[in-house]
Amino acid sequence: MRVVAGEAKGRPLKAVPGSGTRPTTDKVKEAIFSMIGPFFEGGTALDLFAGTGGLAIEALSRGMERAVFVDADAKSIEVVKSNLKATGFEGKAEVYRNDAQRALKALAKRETKLDLVFLDPPYRMKNGAELMLKMEEAGLLEAGAVVVLEYESSYEYPESFGAFALRRKAVYGETAVSIYDWTPKDREESQPAEEDLEP
């Protein structure tokens, strides 16, 4: 595993010991970034089930300004920190050991705004859409934010829910990747005018 492109191109990344995490292969990573980038001009990324941290590190290498890494596993957190050190991105990163739901609440309290989100939960968890809707409710997303959802290819997520719309889906063997765009509806348009509320 390595950084595919950008500032830290070619730097090797450590894997998490054991078989509990499933790192995104370089081939799939390259395909994901060709769909969503391939390069960025600033912005904040969130890697919610960070594993090795490879996806958000790739985003930093390609121009994202800042990234938040979250994982519930202590080994993963150690590996993320080691990979950030190896790529020189420690100063652009925040790393937290936490579960996904609690992490989203903590980020909302700090009024974090996200431009890019990587969601690669364990395949047994089918809660990608639920987590995305939580981000929407918590006001964590910038208008035009992009969510990359990675999951087992035998499972199907809806094409649209909340203000999310599927831009593209690709299947690589057992892995499926869906790219969602978040376009908030204009709240003022959706609110009825005051005179319409009169009996």
Position 136 in a domain: yes
The three-class DSSP label of residue 68 is: strand
Give the domain CATH number at 114: 3.40.50.150
User: Which pTM was predicted?
Assistant: 0.90
Mean pLDDT of 68-94: 97
Q: Which domain holds residue 96?
A: 26-165
> pLDDT for 143-166, tens place per residue?
999 999 999 999 999 999 999 999
CA 186 to chain centre: 24
- Residues linked to residue 22 through DSSP beta bridges, in sequence order: none
The C-alpha torsion from 186 through 192 and 195 to 199, rounded to 10°, is -170
Position 67 in a domain: yes
Number of H helices, E strands in the chain: 6, 8
Asked if residue 192 has a cis previous peptide bond (ω within 30° of 0), the answer is: no
Check: CB of residue 144 under 8 Å from CB of residue 173: no
Residue 149, CA atoms < 13 Å, CB-side half-sphere:
31
Q: Work out how many domains the chain is built from and give that number.
A: 1
Percent of the chain predicted with pLDDT > 90: 84
Asked whether the predicted pLDDT for residue 189 surpasses 50, the reply is: no
pLDDT given at position 23: 80
Q: Supply the DSSP symbol for 69.
A: E
Mean pLDDT of 122-126: 90
pLDDT given at position 45: 98
